[in-house]
Amino acid sequence: MAFITFVNQCHIEHGAIDMLGDTLKQLGISRPLICTDKGLVKIGIVDTIRGRIPNDVAVTIYDGTPENPTETAVKDAVRLFRENDCDGIIALGGGSSMDLSKGAALLLTHDEPLVEYNAATGGAMKIGPTTPMIAIPTTSGTGSEVSRGAVIKTEDGRKLIFSSPNMIAKVSLCDPELTVGLPPLLTAATGMDAVTHLMEAVMSPVENPPAEAIGIDGLWRAVGQGHLLKATENGQDREARKQMMIAASEGALAFTKGLGAVHAMSHAAGRITELNLHHGTLNAVCLPACLRYNDEVLGDKRDRMKHAMGVPAGQTLDKAIEELNAKLGLPANLSEMGITEDMVPGMIEHALVDPTTPTNARPVDAAGFKALYADAMG
């Protein structure tokens, strides 16, 4: 079993959820709120987790997490927590459930409004200790189980980042068994979220050699060893599922040195309510354009990423990602996802103030984002 203590206790192994009872006891949680979604209730994963919790532990379930977590949903979870006198949170699901859980943990211990804690306006400095949380991911992509941040759509229509070491889950139980059988497109999209985290972290100009090394290792596992493609093509491949869960966590550990324009573009597009686009898919589609934009400043990082990913000497990184996206069955461009030209100015405005923009490998301004979106539109 891999036991990692970089930022929290993170257990990555088949059967990790068997530790849940002891973990609740370790953290002194006797009345947990499970934050999840209706899909996981329907397919029985919530029942599976409930079965790992001792009978004398009172469990409350919030299953209203939307695909893109909202401030309204966060407040609903907070209300249920208080009504049932809960004393801790179990974040069960993909990045959406974990982000919602972090938002709830924040509002349970801090005054509203949520926007006061927006990372882009210095809100991180206002975040103190939050409600204790256990993270149990059911996808391999966001790395939220080991990250300090959450992305939440606020009531004013913005998609904002909230980030603090105080928002990191106390313990993460990463059980690849929970991802076995995940549909191919969701496996592909969440996996490309992880790949984007890894690549943007390596490309970031911030100096952090350990984080960069973790990013390279994650790219080797996900792409170089082919585990993302294997998990997508065969959902029952347990070794591929385990390796992708490792790569996803490594992505979040790596992006402590920053992300970049891919995420700024994705956050800007993800806030469009009528489209409700999947974050990982947006990352996959925007990544090739950003690789082309950043290429001139990558230096030896280009070669190290190509080596880790098994990219042939004569092929560029952007073309390698386009080829991988096609094999995974993901869209080729933003137009295929429903993005139209009239949406671009608003997305540029949002991307410019996104906190991931300053750590892009190459500086990007309004003209840069206009060119990037034009490229990604196809």
DSSP 8-state class, residue 31: S
Per-residue tokens: 377: 């539109």
Average pLDDT, the chain: 95
Q: Residue range 331-357: average pLDDT? A: 97
CATH 3.40.50.1970 residue spans of the chain: 2-178
Q: What's the confidence (pLDDT) of residue 128?
A: 97
* pLDDT exceeds cutoff 60 at 4: no
| Architecture of the domain defined by 183-377 | Up-down Bundle (1.20)
pLDDT band at 120 (very low <50, low <70, confident <90, very high): confident
Q: Residue range 243-258: average pLDDT? A: 96
Q: What's the confidence (pLDDT) of residue 159?
A: 86
314 CA to centre of own chain: 31
Helix residue ranges, H only, the chain:
20-27, 38-42, 45-50, 71-83, 95-107, 184-203, 209-219, 227-233, 238-254, 261-270, 279-294, 300-309, 317-328, 344-352, 366-377
Q: What's the confidence (pLDDT) of residue 123?
A: 94
* pLDDT exceeds cutoff 80 at 222: yes
Dihedral sign for Cα atoms in the order 347, 278, 117, 113: positive
* pLDDT exceeds cutoff 70 at 91: yes
Q: What's the confidence (pLDDT) of residue 238?
A: 97
Q: Virtual CA dihedral for 243, 246, 247, 250, nearest 10 degrees?
A: -160
267-292 per-position pLDDT tens digit: 999 999 899 999 999 999 999 999 99
Alpha carbons within 13 angstroms on the beta-carbon side of residue 124 total 16
Q: What's the confidence (pLDDT) of residue 94?
A: 94
Closest CA to 218 of 184, 193, 187: 193
The fold of 2-178 is Rossmann fold (3.40.50)
Q: What's the confidence (pLDDT) of residue 157?
A: 85
CATH 1.20.1090.10 residue spans of the chain: 183-377
Give the CA radius of gyration of the chain: 19
Max CA pair span of the chain: 61
pLDDT band at 179 (very low <50, low <70, confident <90, very high): very high
287-340 per-position pLDDT tens digit: 999 999 999 999 999 999 999 999 999 999 999 999 999 999 999 999 999 999
* pLDDT exceeds cutoff 80 at 344: yes
Residue length of the chain:
378
**Cβ contact 153:102 at 8 Å:** no
70-83 per-position pLDDT tens digit: 999 999 999 999 99
